[in-house]
Structure 1
Amino acid sequence: MNGRIITSSRLHLTLIDLNGERGRLDGGVGITLKNPNLIIKAKPNGEFKTEFEEKNLEENLIREYSAKIEEAAKRTLSYLKSIERFDFIIEKTFPAHSGLGSGTQVSLAIAKLITGFHGTEMDSWELARIVGRGGTSGIGVASFEYGGFIVDGGHSKKEKTDFLPSSASRASPPPVIARYDFPEDWNIIVAVPRIDRQVSGRKEVNIFQEYCPIPLEEVERLSHIILMKMMPSVLEEDIESFGEAINEIQRIGFKRVERKLQHPIIDKIIDNMLSTGAVGAGMSSFGPAVYGITDTNPKDVLKAAKEAMGDVGGLALITNARNSGAKYE
């Protein structure tokens, strides 16, 4: 029996606490997206082949996905003590190392397909522990499970003692402290310029070590904005306040550091989105994905983003929030 799973990308709006004085590290805020998404099929009794149905995919994307799939499959099968072999067919992808969370979604999708075939019921946090995801941010894991607008509570310093990105952290996925439906009539414009990600791997670890701890007053200000502006604006569907919160968090905390280290085209795209009428715009995770929010003129904002990307090109689309988790069938 073949299995198939559809799971979504996500925006990571900000990390919350990279100071740690209150006894916890990380914390995060994010939104699950309808598009771009990921569709994978698994066929048992296979030979561990990975096939891609989309045409003209870049070689580095194929390598990234293939490596993640192989690692997640081996970890899951080892956990299950299974010798079953699978083939995986990737019907649809979205860019890797782009700030949209492909690594977590691919890994969890493979774990879900394999455990589903074995008749083993596990929630996304259990799957994440098996495949080693969620060591800094819990947004991708919660997006896979629930969808929607998510705030996670970070890690106790009893478990995680240092400032590290997810790629270098072995901590368990953090708890979700708030999850709301995100207004589906708010348009989200996503643009991923075709540039090399400025920060990844060892360089990303070094940045966490160099710039952390973030001053406590910045963490407290950011927490105030999230708790008393951003979260209520989602519940009250106040897009103007939500946009203001997005714009404020670009200038404080670790997001300020992330933005400072980016290619100049990131600022250009965000500025174009705002000047064309987006109520808020920012960078997802360490980029290069950026996003704008509007409920009035999404096509204009999309056009502005494409113009800012210019000859660099890249992915650009209008989407909405997805208020449900991955679909397994």
Structure 2
Amino acid sequence: MNESKTSTRTTAETQSSAAVVSVCCGARLHFGLLDTAAPFGGVGVMIDQPATEITVSQAPRFSCDGHQSDRVLAIARRLQHSMRWSDLPCCRVTIIEQPSAHSGFGSGTQLSLAVAETLAAFCDVRLPQETLALEIADRGKRSAVGVHGYFHGGLIYEDASSDSTEAPEFGQLNPIHRRIELPESWRVVLMIPRSSAPPMHGQDEQTQFDHLAAGDPQRQARLREMLSTELLPAAHSHDFPAFANAVQRYNHESGLLFVSSQGGPYNGAEVASLVASLTQSGAVGVGQSSWGPGIFAWCDSLDSAQSLCEFVETHWQDQLSNLMIASVRNTARSIHHSTSTSS
């Protein structure tokens, strides 16, 4: 049953027949923004690791344990306010799996969207995806790559509409300009340096953007040209060498928008050094995801990804806190309803 925003029914009356609702989603690699000011724009791709999994189950009252309980409670309260409920939903939110925060893989957006959608589904509430993202999850107000990726998967290029360079109205997501499914055989090697510059997030991130000047128009033009003539055509044609080269060049060029905050195209000396070492050793499609410190390198197969991991472990194992292989996720998050609480 659809729930309208004018509902004043209690939460006990709004719960669905499902005893458990679960959502599982992947992570977001961000290749870089097009500008430091609205409408920003940018490109990235969804991957299957590190994963996030949330369950919501029946309970006498609302509860969530763990270090993300404040975030989860805030999302639940926004849903309660949006639906004009008198109480929070009677359920328990359990975070089954989540990646380390502030590594550059969009974990905050994926977690918030998963919690928002799972709570809404548990309460049998159907809201537009944009409402879930902006109003309930409180995400997507700068970069929309992770939001669109959560709902659609694949490579996402988001920007202002193709016939306008104006920013969307306040409270709107940048639309998807182009979505491309990449070959399932491609892999990404993910690395997180053990030592790196402090991660940028929350109010610190907003402060950095507040002090950044709008990007150089010539750099913006180069970034859009790279996308339209190199990166997107290579992705569409599944031309791995051209794609990897374009991703690395675009990532470096976009990083130069943030020199005043990062000290260079990458966030700190440790990330810059590892990117340079990987490139000099023959790795391709190397870059920093978002603010980092997460680093990626593209491979055309699982075998080549495993070989790269072995090489990295031999040469830089002591410099890394995490090393993994991810696949492209061309599909949306998965959502499952169960009428039984048994496992």
Q: TM-score, normalised to structure 2's length?
A: 0.81
1:112-151 → structure 2 map (5 Å cutoff): 112-130=117-135, 131-151=137-157
- Measure the CA separation in 2 of the matches of 1:143 and 1:272: 30
Q: Does 2:28 match 1:27?
A: no
Query: Are the equivalent residues in 2 in contact too, given 1:97–1:197 (CA < 8 A)?
Result: no
Q: Please tell me the residue identity of whatever aligns with 2:214.
A: P
- Measure the CA separation in 2 of the matches of 1:302 and 1:46: 47
Pairwise CA distance, 1:158: 6.4
Query: Are the equivalent residues in 1 in contact too, given 2:159–2:176 (CA < 8 A)?
Result: yes
Relative to structure 1, the CA distance from residue 212 to residue 308 in structure 2 (aligned partners, 3 Å threshold; closer, same or farther) is farther
Which 10-residue stretch deviates more, 192-201 or 94-103? 192-201
**Which secondary structure state, in structure 1, belongs to the residue aligned with residue 273 of structure 2?**
helix
CA shift digits 1:77-96 (9 cap, x unpaired): 22123322321121111111
Match of 2:16 in 1: none
Match of 1:16 in 2: 34
- Measure the CA separation in 2 of the matches of 1:207 and 1:150: 25
**Which secondary structure state, in structure 2, belongs to the residue aligned with residue 286 of structure 1?**
coil
Relative to structure 1, the CA distance from residue 263 to residue 48 in structure 2 (aligned partners, 3 Å threshold; closer, same or farther) is farther
CA shift digits 1:236-295 (9 cap, x unpaired): 111111111122123324555265262322123222332343221100110111100011
Unmatched segments (≥5 aa) in structure 2 = 1-18, 337-343
Cα RMSD, aligned residues only: 2.3
Pairwise CA distance, 1:142: 0.7
Pairwise CA distance, 1:220: 0.1
Match of 1:49 in 2: 63
Pairwise CA distance, 1:193: 2.4
- Measure the CA separation in 2 of the matches of 1:50 and 1:285: 29
Relative to structure 1, the CA distance from residue 269 to residue 213 in structure 2 (aligned partners, 3 Å threshold; closer, same or farther) is same
Query: Are the equivalent residues in 2 in contact too, given 1:9–1:32 (CA < 8 A)?
Result: yes
1:1-329 → structure 2 map (5 Å cutoff): 1-18=19-36, 25-51=39-65, 62-63=66-67, 65-82=68-85, 83=87, 84-130=89-135, 131-154=137-160, 156-157=166-167, 159=169, 171-195=171-195, 197-257=198-258, 260=264, 262-295=267-300, 297-306=304-313, 310-329=317-336
- Measure the CA separation in 2 of the matches of 1:34 and 1:119: 27
Decide which structure has the larger Cα Rg and report it. 2
Which 10-residue stretch deviates more, 319-328 or 308-317? 308-317
Relative to structure 1, the CA distance from residue 120 to residue 134 in structure 2 (aligned partners, 3 Å threshold; closer, same or farther) is same
Relative to structure 1, the CA distance from residue 7 to residue 224 in structure 2 (aligned partners, 3 Å threshold; closer, same or farther) is same
Relative to structure 1, the CA distance from residue 158 to residue 326 in structure 2 (aligned partners, 3 Å threshold; closer, same or farther) is closer
CA shift digits 1:71-124 (9 cap, x unpaired): 112112221233223211211111111111111111111111111122222343
**Which secondary structure state, in structure 2, belongs to the residue aligned with residue 26 of structure 1?**
coil
Query: Are the equivalent residues in 1 in contact too, given 2:191–2:320 (CA < 8 A)?
Result: no
- Measure the CA separation in 2 of the matches of 1:133 and 1:303: 37
Match of 2:3 in 1: none
Relative to structure 1, the CA distance from residue 158 to residue 87 in structure 2 (aligned partners, 3 Å threshold; closer, same or farther) is closer
CA shift digits 1:26-78 (9 cap, x unpaired): 00101000111111111133443334xxxxxxxxxx53x33322211211222
- Measure the CA separation in 1 of the matches of 2:51 and 2:124: 25
Query: Are the equivalent residues in 1 in contact too, given 2:39–2:168 (CA < 8 A)?
Result: no
Q: Please tell me the residue identity of whatever aligns with 1:12.
A: H
- Measure the CA separation in 2 of the matches of 1:205 and 1:117: 33
| Sequence identity (%) | 23
Which 10-residue stretch deviates more, 178-187 or 221-230? 178-187
